[in-house]
Structure 1
Amino acid sequence: MKIKTLFVFALALSACGKPDDKREANARAVKSMFAAFNRHDWTAMAGHYADTAGFLDPSLGTTYVKMTHAETAAKYAAMQKMFPDIKDDVNAIHAGDSVVVVEFTSSGTPAGGEKWHLPICSVLTFNNEGKIVKDATYYDNKE
């Protein structure tokens, strides 16, 4: 009986630890992705996504768009050409087992223009391999 109780207790403890581990791993992946963004290392940033991921972003339209690593890196490289000093300051990360919500402020300066700051929220969905399969990003760049 004691062995059964010990086994059930150990099983319960291990089950409780897994979600936190997943949440922490997802939060670390998000921090790493934003660090790559701020280094303008678009290949490393794109590597945080699954081979093909769905993106919902006002700059792409109103429905999810599938993009490969190469297409993701190219999108952000083009953004860097428009705003050479582009960077994101993470304000909060809310990590779950498979979804992470990130609140951040993006900023940049266009050639010959004034620096802008834009509050953004992204909802990132992770697969079991720790890669982002969906990126739903929300912002309003209209004034």
Structure 2
Amino acid sequence: MKTMGFAAAMLIAGTSAAAGERSDAASVVRAMFDAFNRHDAAAMVAAYAPHAELLSPDFCAPRRGREDVRRTYQALFDEAPDIVDTVDEMVVQGDRVAVLFHSRGTAGGQPFDVPIAAFITVSDGLIVRDRSVFQPSPGACLP
């Protein structure tokens, strides 16, 4: 499946941060995953800053802004109506969150289970950068 990487969220892992910082960024990322699993494209858009950047190995170029966030996630929900993300691990360092998760579902009648690492940066309660890392499908490059 060519589009599995967007679901996710990114960040840079590292040492522990103050409890307030950890809670804030982690809460934003958890809310994003909750919205994803509800297939709530509007809530996904609301989780991202107007100038947010999405990066994924199956994108030909970075995606920027809320309209790209909307079309990215809506395409996933349309392509895989049963898609769900399960967070395996989350590491928070200040405004950065690293998430290891699995994206599972069915697309085109074929089941998939894609492990994804996401590196997410949060600023002022919104996601400003979301970089997914995973093995893309052969020939994948979505404009």
| TM-score, normalised via structure 1 length | 0.78
- 1:70: Cα distance to partner? 2.4
The AA in structure 2 aligned to 1:79 is L
Q: Which residue of 1 aligns with 2:49?
A: 50
* Root mean square deviation, CA, Å: 1.7
Matched to 1:89, the amino acid is T
TM alignment of 1:70-109, pairs within 5 A: 70-109=67-106
Instruction: Answer yes or no: is the 8 Å Cα contact 1:43–1:69 preserved in 2.
Output: no
CA shift digits 1:10-63 (9 cap, x unpaired): xxxxxxxx83201111111111100000000011012111111111101213x5
Aligned partners of 1:52 and 1:66 also within 8 Å: no
Counterpart check, 1:30 vs 2:29: yes
Q: Contact 1:20–1:97 (CA<8 Å) still a contact in 2? A: no
Which letter maps to 2:28?
A: A
Note closer, same or farther for the CA distance 1:22–1:132 as it changes in structure 2 (3 Å cut): same
Could you tell me which residue of structure 2 aligns to residue 122 of structure 1? 118
* Local SS of the residue matching 1:47: helix
- Cα 1:68–1:138 change in 2 (3 A) is same
Structure-2 separation of matches of 1:79 and 1:142: 15
Match of 1:137 among 132, 135, 141: 132
* Offset at residue 71 of structure 1 (A): 2.1
Cα distance in 2 for partners of 1:32, 1:92 equals 15
- Within 2, Cα distance between the matches of 1:85 and 1:30? 21
Higher relative contact order (CA 8 A, sep 6+): 2
Point out the more displaced range, 99-108 or 18-27: 18-27
What are the superposed Cα offsets for residues 91-134 of structure 1, whole Å, 9 maximum, x if unpaired? Answer: 111111011001100012113x221100000000112x121111
The structure with the largest helix share of the pair is 1
| Equivalenced residues, count | 122
Structure 1 ranges of 4+ moved more than 6 A:
none
Partners of 1:110 and 1:100 in 2: CA distance: 28
% same residue: 32
After superposition, what is the alpha-carbon deviation per residue over 1:68-109, rounded to whole angstroms, capped at 9, x for unaligned?
222211211111111111110111111110110011000121
